[in-house]
Structure 1
Amino acid sequence: MLEVRAGRRFTVGLAALNRDLGRAGDGSDGGAPPDEWAGSAADLARAARLKQTLAMEQARAGRLADACRTVEGVVRVYRRLAETSPERFRPELAHARSAWGLWASRRGETAASAEALAEAVELYRQMLASAGRLRAMHRIRLSVGLAVALTNLGVVRSELGDHLAAGDAAEESVRILRRLHARNPLYRLLARQDPTGFAHCLAASVSNLGVVCAERGRLGQACELAEETVAIFRQLAAIAPVVYESMLARALHNLGLASAQVGRLDTALAATQEAVYLYRCLVPADPKGHRHDLARALCAFARVRVACQHELAEALAAAEEAVLLLEELTAGCPQAFSGDLHASYRTAGLVRRALEELD
């Protein structure tokens, strides 16, 4: 609960926060133009930080459209503040643009996402070029921010079909994080103090690089990266299972598919089986969030078993369960799930043909 105290600084900061910072324009649509924002730089920065916290909460709740609208206002404030105090506010601007790019990509706004992430990357590069060597902590923060923006930019560029640029961005992200761990004692100390935060960053970068490699046809490398991702998330899930078991399940799902593509069928069988098991454990706690994941994992489980000609009866049961799950989901939201539903029909048909051939 906020304690309300009299005084200009609180009042002006609250007024700035309550203005419609999510709208651009000249004020004709009800939003305040930048020149009419009240308060000092400190007031506006405080309001922007509160709005940024709100955006993060909206994103965690799955309200990505709201999160994007909220952070648009944050970006406008930081862009203005960075004009007069770049040393202080450019890191905040870069972070906000990076977050906006990630959330926009998850909403399918791929071109706009690429633009935001590319700007974040350029801002981080400029700040690193001018940051003093003695400011070790500052350089670590900027380097990690650059790595995060690069890995997300790599995935977005891959979705746009620019696979060469996607590979360059994703590879640079992993290279930055590996170099920090290998050469920077302060980074290693911080990683030991906060193993989940730093390891999660590396796991996400490695996983995204694997996705980009698969898109470029580099299946062997993609499989190796998927294995590394699973190993990192397995360690994280042992520390914080509530947070990381879903990420481990997703990594196992990707490993199963990648392994099947390169003929490592024993690994594919084990990975897809464990992914299904984990998602079954996760569904009761969050049915809305994980039923779709479970359905996709069941389809992967079935397809891998057809490829191996192994456990086909179990494969058919998994495919039929996936169909039922996706029919329920599609009934509520056809646009989001119809593609996966048709894929599950194809998977079930594939398994039935494999069983008929055995007979």
Structure 2
Amino acid sequence: MGIGRGWRWRRKRQDWLTRDLDNAEVMLRLSRWMAARWSRHEFDVGSILLDYTRRLAEAGRHEDALAALNEAIDIGSRHVHAKPLRYAPNLAAALLMKAHLLAELGHMEEAVSTAEGAVDIYRTLVPGDQARFEPILFAALTSVGFWRHQRGEFTQARPAFEEAAELARRLPPARVADRAMALNNLGAVCQELGDSSDALPPLEEAVAIRRRLLAEDRERYEPDLVASLRNLEQTLSALGRYVEAVAVVDEISALSKSSSPAADGDPGSA
């Protein structure tokens, strides 16, 4: 029975993806036809390509998704200098989507450089619409820091985490977990670089937030708290504050043995 239900669900999802892709391809062909006659419709092609890419990625067609993103990036790059307000948001979105797809495919170096291009554009967009673009800039910076951290490029990861931590303080209250993640990321990379004094304040703040979140949802937030506590214990020990470090170890021991904490110093990804 379970196998049959699973097969039907997969078939239903595949049918949905196929119909969705077919509809997106029809819209794309129509927009290209219009753009060939009226250049102003190139913007529509770029916008539809972004949606088309999402559907291709969901269907597992990664190479086709990359080709669609490259086309969207080419359109944006041709027009962004003449019409930055119109084309810059789509160009930045295409770059960030491409970066995440490249990272998923294991092309980390290209993913980082592509995401940094998106970051540069989002920085220019934030002053014009802070509420819309600052959270996306935060996510892009977190991704850059995370990928550089994965590559062992701690010195290069630190500025991205620092800027993300600053932006995290202005995120909506509902995103307090993201603020804790950003602070933990910054503290962890500072500790890995040997700057324990700089690591301590953000780690203490991350732990305080995650303790509050634990009371709301223990199963969801306990691994995050344990990860921050481990980072905090290492930092306190490096500063010679051993009594406080032992108290943190005791707190970790008191937490559920069933939790699966992140590795020490492992940053989160937005």
Unaligned runs of 5+ in 1: 1-19, 24-30, 32-69, 182-186, 330-336, 345-359
Partner of 2:163: 228
The alpha carbon displacement at 1:168 in A equals 1.9
Matched, 1:304 2:235: yes
Computed over aligned residues only, the root mean square deviation of the Cα atoms, in angstroms, reads: 3.3
Partner of 1:275: 206
Partner of 1:177: 122
* Maintained 8 Å contact 1:299/1:318: no
* Distance of 1:174 and 1:74 partners within structure 2: 30
Unaligned runs of 5+ in 2: 1-10, 33-40, 265-270
Identity %: 19
Matched residue type, 1:188: P
TM norm structure 2:
0.74
The alpha carbon displacement at 1:172 in A equals 1.8
* Distance of 1:256 and 1:113 partners within structure 2: 38
* Distance of 2:208 and 2:56 partners within structure 1: 34
Partner of 2:47: 91
Partner of 1:249: 180
* Distance of 1:314 and 1:248 partners within structure 2: 24
Question: Which is bigger in relative contact order (C-alpha 8 A, separation at least 6)?
Answer: 2
TM norm structure 1:
0.57
* Distance of 1:232 and 1:306 partners within structure 2: 29
Matched residue type, 1:97: T
- DSSP 3-state at the match of 1:263: coil
| Cα-to-partner distance string for 1:265-313 (whole Å, 9 max, x where unaligned) | 0122222221111112223344443233223222322333344442222
* Maintained 8 Å contact 1:75/1:97: no
The alpha carbon displacement at 1:210 in A equals 1.3
Aligned length: 242
| Cα-to-partner distance string for 1:233-284 (whole Å, 9 max, x where unaligned) | 1122xxx212x21111000111111000111101222222211111122233
- DSSP 3-state at the match of 1:166: helix
The alpha carbon displacement at 1:199 in A equals 0.7
Partner of 1:318: 251
- Equivalent of 2:20 in 74, 78, 81: 74
Change (3 A) 1:113 1:82: closer
The alpha carbon displacement at 1:139 in A equals 0.7
List aligned pairs for 1:1-359, cutoff 5 A: 22-23=13-14, 31=15, 73-86=19-32, 87=41, 88=44, 91-95=47-51, 97-98=53-54, 101=57, 112=60, 115=63, 118-129=66-77, 131=79, 135-153=83-101, 155-157=103-105, 160=106, 162-178=107-123, 180-181=124-125, 188-189=127-128, 191=129, 195-236=130-171, 240-242=172-174, 244-310=175-241, 311-322=244-255, 324=256, 327=258, 329=259, 337=260, 340=261
